[in-house]
Amino acid sequence: MANFPATLLNFLRQAERVTALTGAGVSQESGLRTFRDAQTGLWSQYKPEDLASPEAFARAPKLVWDWYAMRREKVRAVEPNPGHFALAEMGHRVPRFTLITQNVDGLHRKAFQTLKVSETFRVWKESPIIELHGNIQRVRCSECGMVADAWEENDDVPRCAGCGGMLRPDVVWFGESLPRSALEAAVEAARGCQVFLSIGTSGLVQPAAALAFAAHNKGAVVVEVNLEPTPLTEKADFFLQGKSGEVLPGLVKATW
């Protein structure tokens, strides 16, 4: 997508604060399956919602652990794509930027860490990234809550070194509340921005999906980037239909 509305470019150039919300679509061009995509192989008989829940872990801990181990392998094998890097560059261009992600793959963090913006390589005081649903590279003890990014693998579900409890991925499952501080920071970033971008998300999962509407209700310009319309599209001020890995670099290039 080459030409963008001049009004959109001006909104971005004039914005004091820009907030972006991303979903699985932004990692699709890195080669990771979205939640809407059907699962393949061994996992084709399961729906993600049926595995990403405390009930599933209670019922079949090894199955759930193995599903995350498979996904972690895939995440480790892929790199951020131009869409991730465009958002990292946007973060350097606007006075204040917050990136809220529903993704647990850590690819935004990797893009921010590896992006070198020639004239302004900003050293972030605190990371502009809010991982609303956690991060698959970390584990948490299901008993004592201890969080770790390394653990002893065994042929069963690994155990907590401290209390022997079963380890689980440090992500938010369906039916679990989001980390309070992350959700509060996300709501503040949605309500306090002039431009809110919703990128690669079907907008079906709450409370993340409500953030764009919170921004809209506070008068922010809402920009949606997606392959197809979503429940947000009719409310969005701009709907940029296309692949985020193509639309975002074009938008950043056209704006700055």
Residue 200 in contact with ligand BV8, rule: CB under 6 A = yes
Q: Is 133 a catalytic residue?
A: yes
Residue 29 in contact with ligand BV8, rule: CB under 6 A = yes
Q: How many CB atoms lie within 10 A of CB 125?
A: 6
Which residue in the set 162, 207, 231, 242 belongs to the binding site for Zn ion (CB under 5 A)? Answer: 162
Residue 102 in contact with ligand BV8, rule: CB under 6 A = yes
b (16+ CB within 10 A) / e for 85-119:
bbbbbbbbbbeebbbbbbbbbbbbbbbbeebeeee
11 interface partner picked from Zn ion, ligand BV8, none, CB below 5 to 8 A per type: none
Give the footprint of ligand BV8 on residues 39-98 (CB under 6 A).
49, 52
CA–CA dist 55, 139 (Å, integer) = 18
User: Residue 162 gets which letter from DSSP?
Assistant: T
**Residue of 84, 92, 108, 133 marked active site:** 133
CA–CA dist 209, 103 (Å, integer) = 13
Residue 148 in contact with Zn ion, rule: CB under 5 A = no
Query: Which is closer to ligand BV8, CB of 163 or CB of 237?
Result: 237
Residue 133 in contact with ligand BV8, rule: CB under 6 A = yes
Pairing of strands 167-171, 134-141: antiparallel
Q: How many CB atoms lie within 10 A of CB 77?
A: 10
Judged by the rule CB under 6 A, the positions of this chain that interact with ligand BV8 are 23-25, 28-29, 34-36, 49, 52, 102, 104, 133, 171-177, 200-202, 204-208, 225-228, 230, 243-245
Q: Which residues are catalytic?
A: 133
